[in-house]
Amino acid sequence: MKWISGLVLGLIVLAVLLAPVISPAGPDVSSLRHAFEGPAPGHPLGFDSAGRDILARLLYGGQNTLGGALIALLVALALGIPSGLLAGYYGGWFDAAAGWLVNLVMALPAMVVLLASRAILGSTVWVLMVVLGFLIAPSFHRLVRGIVAGVRGELYVDAARVSGLSDARIIWRHVLIVVRAPIIIQIALVAGIAIGLQAGLEFLGIGSGDTPTWGAMLNEAFKNMQRDPVLMLWPGLALGLTSGALVLLAAGLRDTLEDPGSRPRTVTPAVPTAVTPAVTPAAPTAGPGERAALLSVRDLAVAYPSGEVVHNVGLDVHAGEILGLVGESGSGKTQTAFSILGILPETGRVSRGSITVDGTEIVGLPEKRHRELRGTVVAYIPQEPMSNLDPAFTVGSQLVEPMRVKLRLGRAQAVRKALDLLSLVEIRDPRRVFDSYPHEISGGMAQRVLIAGAMSCEPKLLIADEPTTALDVRVQAEVLGLLRRLQRDNGLGVLLVTHNLGVVADLCDRVAVMREGRIVETGTARQVLHTPRDPYTRMLLDAVLPLEVT
Amino acid sequence: MTGFVVRRVAAGAALALVISMLSYTLLSIPHIDVARQLLGQGAAQELVDAKNAALGLDRPALVQYLDWLAAAVRGDFGTSWFTSENVLRAIANRLPVTLSLMAGVTLVTALLSLLLGLWAGVRRGRVDRFVQILAVTGYALPGFLVTLVMVWLFAVELGWFPAIGYIGLEESFTGWLSTVTLPILALSVGSVAGVAQQVRGSVIDVLRQDYVRTLRARGLPPRRIILRHVLRNAAAPALSVLGMQFVGLLGGAVLVEQIFGLPGIGSMTVGYTTRGDIPIIMALVMISVIGVIVINLLVDILIGWLNPKARLR
């Protein structure tokens, strides 16, 4: 794409520069008896309304149109880049003043200002293009300033400064490199805009009378549209091709020059294609025959386009029991939890196995039926408290909404219940938190709110995904205590996903240990922590045991 | 929220004030001999001086500006030097045309780009590709070129709409509709392209957020999550793009009004700025700048309402 658009641009510029060679006729030679005539020998594109050669006007007009845009671009670059570099690198009063000026210029409608400046500066297109350069300079200033201000804090710039390099040298050697690619992209974009604006001005008849420009040609064509619409074709094509090629070039350059890693990353680490062992490991994976009534997973596999990430997982959670699902990050714990909830990312799916929740098989269950279970039968407590509350709604409305939808409560009733829930999760001032936005409460508070949300529709099973990892140690203990109390008081079953064996020792009745997408060991917390059978479990324990588990 | 609005209004007023000062200074510097232009080259010097005195041009520029400002604040923009029209009345006659054009474009842009952006962001696939292509095309082609092609196609070739002319809303609704539809559509192409692309991008962003997954885990229906939570969170960045595009839209309106022969502020700007008619030029610059400031203020307030965090700034 970018090669094609680059080639088109190159050809246009070349043709325009070689106008005298390509076109034997002059742009201003008119012979009225040829007016509106089609192609003739020596005049491949025919004649315009005044009998002038269209090809000649197109090529010479291109010199004026592209030249004008070039002036505007150069002025904008000369103003925008240095000021952006200085503002971004030094900050302070210069940055503040420049920022204010930039806002001011950006509030100016370019077309109106250009028309108004015509009154003072006269109808000289070149002068107006300098004004246009002023008007589009902010886009370069902002771009450069933003990037430089970001780079400035980077370690390598600090290192360069510590090693005694002068500011000028640092800017030249380290900072300019970073802004180069974005500037090139921006140049292509802004050039397209400048050409459009410039042609627009010419179309309005600004500029000295007979000078051929693409805009003026379009204006002439527009006046004769009823009689000969074909006149619009060539200048329109020239203008459209040029600015189109510039924008496509910018898009192409962006793909090449800027982070090729911006493609959506897969949520899970790539896993080597699993080769199923000839003999399926028997006992530890698929627990003993009896399946728990509340939650029972058998032979579960989760697959992404990149491969299978969970293999043959089996686990059971009984009512009134806390099962800890332990393993290092990337071991498939969260994928297992998400499959139970039916909230795997778009590209992931349960490829095999069976999951029963409260007696309902959910593998293959229509999404609508599965949704009915969420909230009311199985509920979710996420890991990061702050990012799991919608920033645009108050805590209260986020608690009330599911209860109104799922339990069909009236508004007043739901509000009352939400306030009760907030007290239940040991929040001292429920009314204040109810009316707060997520950014106004602390992380620990937010996690309590999320627990309240999980409890709101009276579920039987809680899936808690690292519920305390993001919290500081004191709050962790409080939240774990709260979870324990809620679980006991309501006889809940809990699947607690964690990598923290201390939490397991504190809270869990039974433990399942996961590694590389498989369950390697299941047992009571006491047995797994004290007499681990699997070498991996032993390794995990050795890493923390002297410190946390007693 | 009130404090936030007050701060924004104050900043906008300061901006308008500085721009008025700069514009007036720039307009006064080259000192085109307005009196001589009015009276003709052969006029006696005494007459020219008298005319200058009558227009107040013999006073220092600062005094002239303060005089203008004092009157402008009271809503008096003076009379045109060349046509003796009351500036405010001339503008008031033409403002409804431009305003209805802008309102139409904003409405069309908001509706179409929300629809397209949301659809592209949620469904991806073919719709997504369509919106992407539309966005590139909209950016790539100068607005007035698109307008010319539309005039040729819909007015000249197909004859669905009149090519030029304007019928006031108070005269006939259908007449008005037939004269503004094409201008509004022509102006909307570019803004729909830009805003739909932004809506698509922010919808995709929001859909990846943790809280959307948590909302799904709460068992809320997808339609509700998208229309209530995703839309609201995605709307703020889209709105700021819409606000930024408004400046460009004013420029587009100048061309579109000129092409369709609409008697609005845009065509007035083209017609009235050929000479150094300071009262008219000042009024036109100020009304466009105030338009931009007001729109951006509204956008900021709307974003503040949508996104409580933004109110802190």
Q: What digits encode the pLDDT tens for the residues A27-69? A: 666 666 666 666 666 666 676 766 677 777 888 888 888 888 8
Determine contact: B214 vs chain A, CB below 8 A: yes
**What's domain A2-24+50-259's superfamily in CATH?**
MetI-like (1.10.3720.10)
Residues in chain A within 8 Å Cβ distance of B289: 107-109
CB contact under 8 A, B273 and A236: no
Q: Across the interface, which of B148, B251, B274 has its CB nearest the CB of A110?
A: B251
Mean pLDDT of B211-222: 92
Mean pLDDT of A184-196: 84
In tens, the pLDDT along A310-346 reads 999 999 999 889 999 998 888 889 999 999 998 888 8
Q: What's residue B83's pLDDT? A: 80
CB contact under 8 A, A108 and B19: yes
Question: CA A534, CA A179: separation in Å to the nearest integer?
Answer: 53
Residues in chain A within 8 Å Cβ distance of B23: 116
Determine contact: B30 vs chain A, CB below 8 A: yes
Mean pLDDT of B60-72: 85
User: In this complex, how many residue pairs, one in chain A and one in chain B, have their CB atoms less than 8 Å apart?
Assistant: 210
Mean pLDDT of A544-549: 55
Q: How confident is the model at residue A154 (pLDDT cuts 50, 70, 90)?
A: confident
Give the ipTM of the model, two decimals please. 0.81
CB contact under 8 A, B233 and A391: yes
Q: What percent of chain B has pLDDT over 70?
A: 97
Helix (H) or strand (E) holding A381: strand A378-381
CATH domain B87-312 topology = MetI-like fold (1.10.3720)
Q: Kindly list the domain boundaries of chain A, sorted by start residue.
A: 2-24+50-259, 295-542
CB contact under 8 A, A119 and B277: yes
User: Min CA distance, A365 vs chain B (Å)?
Assistant: 14
What six digits make up the tokens of A31? 């012979």
Q: How confident is the model at residue A264 (pLDDT cuts 50, 70, 90)?
A: very low
Give the best-scoring range by mean pLDDT among A305-309, B73-77, B246-250. Answer: A305-309
User: Min CA distance, A454 vs chain B (Å)?
Assistant: 7
Strands (E) across A385-507 are located at 461-465, 493-498
User: Min CA distance, B105 vs chain A (Å)?
Assistant: 17
Cβ contacts of A393 within 8 Å, gap of 6 or more: A401, A437, B229, B232
Is the pLDDT confidence value at A284 over 50?
no
Q: Across the interface, which of A199, A384, A457 has its CB nearest the CB of B142?
A: A199
Q: How confident is the model at residue A302 (pLDDT cuts 50, 70, 90)?
A: very high
**Shortest CA distance from B190: residue in chain A:** A193
Q: Across the interface, which of B217, B258, B259 has its CB nearest the CB of A380?
A: B217
Residues in chain B within 8 Å Cβ distance of A247: 136, 139-140
Least confident of A383-397, B107-121, B210-224, B234-248: B234-248
In tens, the pLDDT along A350-407 reads 998 999 998 889 888 888 888 889 989 999 999 888 899 998 899 999 999 999 998 8
Is the pLDDT confidence value at A263 over 50?
no
Q: Tokens 């020239």 sit at which residue?
A: A238
Mean pLDDT of B273-290: 84
Is the pLDDT confidence value at B47 over 70?
yes
Least confident of A115-124, A127-136, A292-301, A478-487: A115-124
Cβ contacts of A9 within 8 Å, gap of 6 or more: A242, A245, A246, A249
Mean pLDDT of chain A: 82
Q: What's residue A260's pLDDT? A: 46
Residue A29's CB is within 10 A of a number of other CB atoms, namely: 10
Mean pLDDT of chain B: 84
**Shortest CA distance from A453: residue in chain B:** B218
Determine contact: B158 vs chain A, CB below 8 A: no
The values of phi and psi at residue A298, to 5°, are -135, 130
CB contact under 8 A, B27 and A113: no
Determine contact: B270 vs chain A, CB below 8 A: yes
Determine contact: B136 vs chain A, CB below 8 A: yes
Residue with the larger pLDDT of the pair B162 and A264: B162
Cβ contacts of B228 within 8 Å, gap of 6 or more: A401
Determine contact: A379 vs chain B, CB below 8 A: yes
Question: CA A137, CA A328: separation in Å to the nearest integer?
Answer: 51
CB contact under 8 A, B247 and A402: no
Is the pLDDT confidence value at A286 over 60?
no
Q: What percent of chain A has pLDDT over 90?
A: 21
Q: What's residue A188's pLDDT? A: 84
Q: What's residue B212's pLDDT? A: 93
Residue with the larger pLDDT of the pair A119 and A419: A419
Q: What's residue B267's pLDDT? A: 85
Q: Across the interface, which of B233, B250, B254 has its CB nearest the CB of A392?
A: B233
Q: Across the interface, which of B15, B148, B276 has its CB nearest the CB of A222?
A: B148
Is the pLDDT confidence value at B7 over 70?
yes
User: Min CA distance, B174 vs chain A (Å)?
Assistant: 25
**Shortest CA distance from B123: residue in chain A:** A346
Residues in chain A within 8 Å Cβ distance of B250: 109, 111-112
Mean pLDDT of B26-43: 71
Residues in chain B within 8 Å Cβ distance of A104: 15, 18-19
Q: What's residue A422's pLDDT? A: 92
Question: CA B271, CA B261: separation in Å to the nearest integer?
Answer: 12
Q: Across the interface, which of A116, A264, A437 has its CB nearest the CB of B284?
A: A116
Question: CA A317, CA A509: separation in Å to the nearest integer?
Answer: 10
Q: What's residue A168's pLDDT? A: 77
Determine contact: B148 vs chain A, CB below 8 A: yes
Mean pLDDT of B224-242: 88
Question: CA A218, CA A58: separation in Å to the nearest integer?
Answer: 11
Question: CA A89, CA A512: separation in Å to the nearest integer?
Answer: 53
**Shortest CA distance from B297: residue in chain A:** A107
Class of domain A295-542: alpha beta
Is the pLDDT confidence value at A549 over 50?
no
Q: What's residue A42's pLDDT? A: 65
Determine contact: A99 vs chain B, CB below 8 A: no
Mutate to test the interface with B, among A105, A114, A120 (most CBs of B within 10 A): A120
Write the DSSP assignment of A140-205 as a string of letters.
Answer: HHHHHHHHHHHHHTSHHHHHHHHTT--HHHHIIIIIHHHHHHHHHHHHHHHHHHHHHHHHHHHHTT
Residues 160-189 of B with CB under 8 A from A: 163
Determine contact: A197 vs chain B, CB below 8 A: yes
**Shortest CA distance from A462: residue in chain B:** B217
